[in-house]
Amino acid sequence: MDWPDLSLLATLRGHAIFDALSAIEADTLAGAGSLLYLQDGAELFASGDQPDGFYVLLEGALKVQVDDHAVAQIGVGEVVGEMGLVTADRRTATVRAIGAGIVWHLDGRGFEALLSSGDPMATGILLGIARDLCRRFRAVVDEAADRVPTVAQLPGGPKLLDSLQWADFG
Amino acid sequence: MIDVDTIHDAESLVVLSAQEREQLAMLMTDARFRSGEMVLQQDRRAPAAYMLLGGALHVERKVEEHALTGRIEIGEWFGVASLCDGRKVTAAVHALTDVRLAALGRGDFEGLLGRDDGLGARLLRAWLRSLSFQLARVNEALVALRGFQGS
């Protein structure tokens, strides 16, 4: 694959999925994906779609929508659609471009081939995605913790805090 | 090693084959804690990832004089993030009742990643599923907090 701008490749190589790979493996993996150019509002995938691999945002921004409500925003260097590597379940959210953008796409069938053959790249990719999820998870928990003292002082705040169901915090 | 039957029906391992569950069971150890005992301390690295096999656990992250509390269902993993990224856990876990856990130690996990039979990758795939569900759960809670504060 030809890279129109080496800064895009640098952004991709900065993602955690490349951390556990050798330089040769990283080059191979980067070349195994494809670049998609998105226009403002373009749909990357829609709720109900069959998963087709995962994406890393290299330029621009993405919004994640559930029932037409924005629930999250994806920034440069972040991964989206990674559950497509884990289950065959249909997509549960719609992801659209905010402004023009560029994403790197790794096809799910290519990944399955790596996994089936016992290629260590599959382990490296999954470990990188897991670390990325951990980073996002910790950021969410940290923001929530920062909000707790203020919420606890507001009328109804303690009741809300009691009612929230948290996971194991990692 | 633990008896494979103890993890056979675990929803969190649904992506592993029966043979892979047997291989995993050979690496896991039985861990038991008495009611009131601390399983994981906040702000320390987890020595292992654990699957809850029986009993009840309390999860708590202290925030000044307040706390965020969590839950872990039978068959769910905890300590996974700390094993994957090598960082400290963000909450304490202690036993509300006598509990039984299946533990995969840090060294065994790292050894799994280096194996050439793909089991490490498949376990990671199972854990990704757990991590994604947990991320969705905390995201929902954060959205509720933001909404409550009007920001």
User: What SS3 string covers B93-111?
Assistant: EEECCCEEEEEEEHHHHHH
Would A37 be classed as within a structural domain? yes
**Residue A94 forms beta bridges with which residues?**
A65
* CA distances, A7 to each of A14, A57, A79, B56, B68 (Å): 10, 13, 17, 50, 41
Cβ neighbours of residue B10 closer than 8 Å, sequence gap 6 or more: B51, B75
Per the listing, tokens 């008896």 go with B3
Write out the residue range of the structural domain in which residue A156 sits: 8-165
User: Which residues between 8 and 37 in chain B have a beta carbon less than 8 angstroms from any beta carbon of chain A?
Assistant: 15
- Interface ipTM: 0.88
**Residue A11 Cα to chain centre, angstroms:** 14
Partner-chain contact B61 A141, CB within 8 Å: yes
pLDDT at res. B109:
94
Which residue out of B101, B131, B146 would a mutagenesis test of the A interface target, given it has the greatest number of A Cβ atoms within 10 Å? B131
Residue A2 included in any domain: no
Q: Cβ of A75 under 8 Å from any chain B Cβ?
A: no
**A170 band by pLDDT with thresholds 50, 70 and 90:** low
Separation CA A143–CA A135 (nearest Å): 12
Looking at the domain assignment, is residue A170 inside a domain? no
CA distance B138 to chain A (A): 6
Using an 8 Å CB-CB cutoff, list chain B residues near A72: 139
Most confident of A3-12, A108-117, B4-13, B77-86: B77-86
pLDDT of the residue at B56: 94
Residue of A nearest to B141 (CA): A164
Q: What percent of chain B has pLDDT over 90?
A: 44
Helix (H) or strand (E) holding B125: helix B119-149
The CA distance from B33 to B39, in Å, is 7
A71 lies in a domain?
Answer: yes
- Alpha carbon separation from B104 to B49, B76, B107 (Å, rounded): 5, 13, 8
What is the Cα–Cα distance from B102 to B49, expressed in whole angstroms? 8
Which chain A residues are closer than 8 Å to B128 by Cβ? 82-83, 85-86, 126, 129-130, 133
Looking at residue A42, its pLDDT comes to: 96
In a domain, A1, yes or no: no
On whether residue A3 sits in a domain, the answer given is: no
Residue B76: closest C-alpha in chain A: A168
The reported pLDDT for the residue numbered A57 is: 93
Instruction: Give the H or E element holding residue B50.
Output: strand B48-54
Provide the residue type at A8 as one letter.
L
Give the number of other CB atoms < 10 A from CB of residue B75: 17
Of B88, B93, B83, which Cα lies nearest the Cα of B120? B83
Backbone angles phi, psi at A105, to 5 degrees: -120, 125
Residue B148 near residue A154 (C-beta atoms within 8 A): yes
Is A57 among the domain residues? yes
CB contact under 8 A, A164 and B141: yes
The verdict on residue A50 lying in a domain is: yes
- Are A151 and B118 an interchain contact pair (Cβ–Cβ within 8 Å)? no
How far is it, in rounded angstroms, from Cα A74 to Cα A87? 21
- What CATH code is carried by the domain that includes residue A98? 2.60.120.10
Q: What angle do CA B48, B54, B60 make, to 5 degrees?
A: 60
Report the number of distinct structural domains present in chain A: 1
Question: Closest to B61 (Cβ–Cβ): which among A157, A160, A169?
Answer: A169
Query: What band does A98 get if pLDDT is binned at 50, 70 and 90?
Result: very high
Q: Which residue of A has its CA nearest to B113?
A: A123
Taking the model in full, what pTM does it have?
0.84
Q: Of A4, A1, A104, nearest to A44 (Cα)?
A: A104
